Amino acid sequence: MNILETSKLLQLLDSKGYLQIIDDELDVNLEIPHVAYVEIKKVNPKVLLFTNPIDKKLGIKYEIPVLMNLFGSNELIELFFQRTPDEIGKEIEKLLKMKPPSAFGEKVEFLKDLFSLKSVFPKRKSRDISKTHKEFHLDLERLPILKTWSGDGGKFITMGQVYAHSLNGEVSNVGMYRLQVYDKTHLGMHWQIHKDTSKFFKEYSDANKKMPVTVVVGGDPLYTWVATAPMPYGVNELLLYGFVKKRNAQLIESNTNFVPEDGDIIINGLVDVDKLQVEGPFGDHTGYYTLEEEYPEMEVTDIWVKENPIYYATVVGKPPIEDKYMGWATERIFLPLLQTTAPDLIDYSMPENGVFHNLILGKMRVQYKGHAQQFMHAFWGVGQMSFVKHAIFVDENAPHLESPKEIIPYILNRISEDRLLISTGILDALDHSSSEKLVGGKLGIDATGDEVKLPRLNPIPDDFLLKKLRVACNGCAVHITGVKTYFPETQNPITVISVNKKCGLREKLPILGDYREFIRILVIVDDENNSIENPYMLLWRVVNNIDAKRDIYIDRNFYAIDATNKNRELDENFSREWPDDVVCDRDVIEDLQKRGVINVGQNFIDHFGIL
């Protein structure tokens, strides 16, 4: 399937029952994003085509429709890839292990494999952009760009492929970064310090030259996915497009960058290396707002659109969201590459409610004592894996990594003090929990080998335990509002308590340790915005909110984890601003419900923390 026209893509999606067309007039400010956000959390979410986007504030009715949730299921990923990500991973593994052939049959197969690589390299065409696209108004406000959350700093392009090249032109890159619209001709470039384009920017800055950047929206969905792929520096992501598609990427030149000829919208501009602009806030895929920070700004010089263009967008926030499925593809395809660094790695999984970089589970063949700890260091030293905060490793006898009811007890039965590794390392720029930006605590758990044998706890009902803990905290400015115990049959049951705190908890954790006869692992969350009956969102909250170096108290196989929100007034040595949760606008959700655009119950809304 070669998708050269978006109309063919829509026909394909419609014929397979994936597409839902919404003809209601809906605002690009909050309404369209909220509809897509609710839809993506359903069991079988639809790709949504909004045919009548409007901007009530600007009084604009857009001619360009909006397409969302394009990567909304594993089946859609396989449709665009034309096979499963695991099959692609196997092909990569075969290439990595390729050996010189000896027998005649092996030579034939070898030649076939080599010949198949001819489609990897992008094809640069000499065709002028005016032959494939028509020039559009030099006005970003004429594009149906979305404002997703009420707390956002403005509208953002959320599915833009950002094309750039090094100063000497020898290295090209495409990445996906959020792009804030400042006005009709200016965009914020949210490329973080570890991104290739940030390195290019430094080269241009050192040479005092403006940096040409091209933003593409739409076209073959695979271009959008490869823009998110964690390729090593200097390796063009479009090589991956050719490998997956078994067809050369078809490129035209625009603003000195080579971009896909079938892109729906092409935005060219120059980044002034001497000018930074405040970007944000933005409700991000962590489920929290990322706060204001200065980033480079691009001045748009020209905008091009193809015939009947469609604007692609995604919405990010609390899980599950679209990157659940995009990340699944990345996880499967890049497994063989990780195995070159860690040959005894069998499999790995990055749970959706762990927000990918906050939690990784790995299954390995244990060859010697300390092997799991070696894996932790290896993962924390490899590319984007270095941003992972919490890494848990199990052995080859463990259940499937994506079977929570089986893998969690397996892990809990293998936790002890001597199997934990807490260290300090680099963190993702979006992490808000560490006391210092970009650097913070990391936790590794060696859950390989035999079960641990710990002193038996004295289990009591949660309501009795709640009374005891309230007595312990009487007068200490912490009011415990609820208790819930999970996995009581394991060696390390998890007891979650919700609190209203009027002080920092760091000095209070040893007090709770006095109740170790009832508790092994104690997790503390705020009463506000958390339900201790909702383990899915509790995991999301905990891995987002803790800095392992600061927030974990350990004493004789008693563990207390402070996953409450931190603030400058109450928490010692925490001076950063703590961001708000991402939530939908209640009035917008209620209005969409009344109009029949969405139809979900209160349990659904509560379960995913939508309001």
Distance CA 421, CA 410 (A): 19
Q: By the 8 A CB rule, do 95 and 231 touch?
A: no
* pLDDT of 63 higher than 80: yes
- pLDDT at residue 118 in the model: 75
Closest CA to 254 of 162, 121, 179, 167: 162
Pull the structure tokens for residue 508.
């209070």
| Same domain, residue pair 159 and 198 | yes
| Same domain, residue pair 511 and 541 | yes
- pLDDT at residue 328 in the model: 95
Would you say residue 596 lies in a domain?
Answer: no
| Same domain, residue pair 214 and 307 | yes
- pLDDT at residue 401 in the model: 97
User: Which pTM was predicted?
Assistant: 0.93
Would you say residue 368 lies in a domain?
Answer: yes
The predicted-structure confidence for 572-586, as pLDDT tens digits, reads as follows 889 999 999 999 999
| Same domain, residue pair 19 and 135 | yes
| Same domain, residue pair 109 and 10 | yes
| Same domain, residue pair 273 and 371 | no
| Same domain, residue pair 286 and 392 | no
Structural domains counted in the chain: 3
Would you say residue 118 lies in a domain?
Answer: yes
CATH no. for residue 52? 2.30.110.10
DSSP characters over 72-103 = -SHHHHHHHHTS-HHHHHHHHHHHHT-----S
Closest CA to 384 of 254, 237, 230: 230
Residues 474-488 have a mean pLDDT of 91
* pLDDT of 319 higher than 90: yes
- pLDDT at residue 104 in the model: 52
Would you say residue 165 lies in a domain?
Answer: yes
The burial of 100, by beta-carbon neighbours within 10 Å (0-12 exposed, 13-18 middle, 19 or more buried), is given as exposed
What percent of the chain clears pLDDT 70, i.e. is strictly above it? 96
Domain boundary pick from 524, 539, 562: 562
Would you say residue 453 lies in a domain?
Answer: no
| Coil, helix or strand at residue 584 | coil
Secondary element (H or E) of residue 199? helix 196-207
Residue 341 pLDDT grade (very low, low, confident, very high; cuts 50, 70, 90): confident
Owning domain of residue 283: 6-313
Alpha helices in 491-565 (DSSP H): 509-512, 535-545, 548-551
Q: By the 8 A CB rule, do 287 and 242 touch?
A: no
CA 470 to chain centre: 38
| Same domain, residue pair 434 and 518 | no
Secondary element (H or E) of residue 244? helix 237-245
DSSP characters over 501-516 = ESS-STTTHHHHGGGT
Distance CA 138, CA 594 (A): 37
CATH no. for residue 370? 3.40.1670.10
Distance CA 83, CA 329 (A): 11
The predicted-structure confidence for 428-445, as pLDDT tens digits, reads as follows 989 999 999 999 999 999
The predicted-structure confidence for 101-134, as pLDDT tens digits, reads as follows 555 555 445 445 554 577 889 999 999 999 999 9
* pLDDT of 99 higher than 70: no
Would you say residue 455 lies in a domain?
Answer: no
Arithmetic mean of pLDDT over the chain: 92
The predicted-structure confidence for 18-55, as pLDDT tens digits, reads as follows 999 999 999 999 999 999 999 999 999 999 999 999 99
Q: By the 8 A CB rule, do 31 and 52 touch?
A: no
* pLDDT of 155 higher than 50: yes
Residues 517-538 have a mean pLDDT of 96
Tell how strand 211-217 and strand 552-555 pair up. Answer: unpaired
Pull the structure tokens for residue 575.
């001076």
| Same domain, residue pair 379 and 485 | no
The predicted-structure confidence for 375-432, as pLDDT tens digits, reads as follows 999 889 877 889 999 999 999 999 999 999 999 999 999 999 999 999 999 999 899 9
DSSP characters over 452-519 = P--PPP----HHHHHHHHHHHTTTTTEEEEEEEEE-TTSSS-EEEEEEEESS-STTTHHHHGGGTTT-
Closest CA to 267 of 171, 143, 132, 128: 143
Closest CA to 77 of 283, 252, 333: 333
| Same domain, residue pair 236 and 346 | no
Q: In sequence order, what are the beta bridge partners of 443?
A: 390, 422
The predicted-structure confidence for 342-373, as pLDDT tens digits, reads as follows 999 999 999 999 988 899 999 999 999 999 99
Would you say residue 108 lies in a domain?
Answer: yes
Give ∠ CA 166-171-177 in degrees, rounded to 5. Answer: 70
| Same domain, residue pair 441 and 467 | no
- pLDDT at residue 97 in the model: 65
* pLDDT of 157 higher than 50: yes
| Same domain, residue pair 375 and 247 | no
Radius of gyration of the chain (CA): 25
Would you say residue 602 lies in a domain?
Answer: no
Distance CA 265, CA 242 (A): 21
Length of the chain in residues, anyone?
611
Residue 3 pLDDT grade (very low, low, confident, very high; cuts 50, 70, 90): very low
- pLDDT at residue 5 in the model: 65
